[in-house]
């Protein structure tokens, strides 16, 4: 391959990559604050975990410190580069984690085999939330639970919702398909769970401050 054949980034690709770096930096600066805000909620939500637990996209392992050591933990993490880091984090905490390749719509897990599925800030970015929730229902045992903490769309006709709607195209592009205006609670209610219980709360984040936390039971 000669020099003229070497692929080069087009100007719009350069701007997009720069935007993603700035977006990631903004979220990273808020991550410590975010964990402080949600730590007690996570502690309460994950208090009674037992049996087989599947976390979808554990990423950098922010939920691992809240998990009891006696669970059988499976992580579906599409980013291979995170696997070694997650294994180290789990080992420090006395956890055994079985990391598998896959995504939220394709869960490498047997049907009716999981006691609890965990998602935190995941359902906002899956390509098709309805497919994802059906995949979760497939792997959960009867009576199994989905535990979730997710940012959601602001109320209809609110100023923030208008901002979310306007900024959504660029937000999704910079934030790895994160939808700032996704009505996640509606998808949960319609998915086919026997019960869905959640509460609303706010986190000091730009654009995505409205959140829900809750439990959906198969």
E strand residue ranges, 14-139: 52-56, 72-76, 97-100, 114-120
pLDDT at residue 12 greater than cutoff 60: no
pLDDT at residue 30 greater than cutoff 60: no
> 39-82, pLDDT tens digit by residue?
999 999 999 999 999 999 998 899 999 999 999 999 999 888 88
Mean pLDDT of 7-19: 42
Record the tokens describing residue 115, joined without a space. 């006691």
Domain boundaries, the chain: 11-217
Q: What is the pLDDT of residue 177?
A: 84
Which helix (H) or strand (E) covers residue 38, if one does?
helix 11-45
Q: What is the pLDDT of residue 205?
A: 84
pTM for the model stands at 0.85
For residue 164, give the nearest of 184, 180, 176 by alpha carbon. 180
Q: What is the pLDDT of residue 213?
A: 98
Contacts of 105 (CB under 8 A, 6+ apart): 126, 127, 128, 131, 132, 135
**6 dihedral zone (left: phi>0; alpha: psi -120 to 50; beta):** beta
Instruction: Return the minimum-mean-pLDDT range out of 82-86, 115-119, 183-187.
Output: 82-86
Domain 11-217 has CATH 3.40.50.150: yes
Record the tokens describing residue 118, joined without a space. 């965990």
Whole-angstrom CA distances from 94 to 74, 75, 84 are: 14, 15, 15
CA distance 56 to 129: 13
> 87-124, pLDDT tens digit by residue?
999 999 999 999 999 888 889 999 999 999 999 999 99
* More confident of the two residues 1 and 204: 204
Q: What is the pLDDT of residue 7?
A: 42
């Amino acid at each position: 391959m000669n020099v003229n054949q070497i692929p080069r980034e087009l100007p719009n690709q350069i701007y997009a990559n720069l935007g993603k770096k700035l977006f990631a930096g903004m979220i990273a600066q808020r991550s410590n604050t975010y964990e402080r805000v949600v730590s007690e909620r996570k502690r309460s939500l994950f208090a009674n975990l037992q049996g087989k637990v599947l976390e979808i996209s554990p990423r950098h392992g922010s939920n691992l410190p809240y998990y009891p050591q006696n669970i059988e933990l499976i992580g579906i993490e599409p980013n291979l580069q995170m696997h070694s880091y997650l294994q180290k984090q789990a080992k420090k905490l006395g956890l055994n984690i079985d990391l598998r390749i896959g995504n939220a719509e394709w869960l490498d897990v047997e049907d009716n085999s999981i006691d609890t599925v965990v998602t935190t800030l995941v359902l906002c970015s899956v390509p098709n939330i309805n497919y994802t929730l059906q995949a979760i229902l497939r792997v959960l045992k009867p009576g199994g639970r989905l535990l979730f903490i997710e940012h959601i769309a602001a109320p209809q006709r609110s100023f923030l919702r208008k901002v979310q709607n306007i900024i959504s195209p660029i937000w999704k592009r910079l934030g790895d398909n994160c939808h700032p205006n996704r009505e996640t609670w509606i998808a949960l209610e319609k998915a086919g769970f026997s019960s869905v219980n959640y509460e609303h709360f706010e986190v000091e984040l730009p654009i995505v401050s409205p959140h829900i936390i809750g439990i959906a039971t198969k």
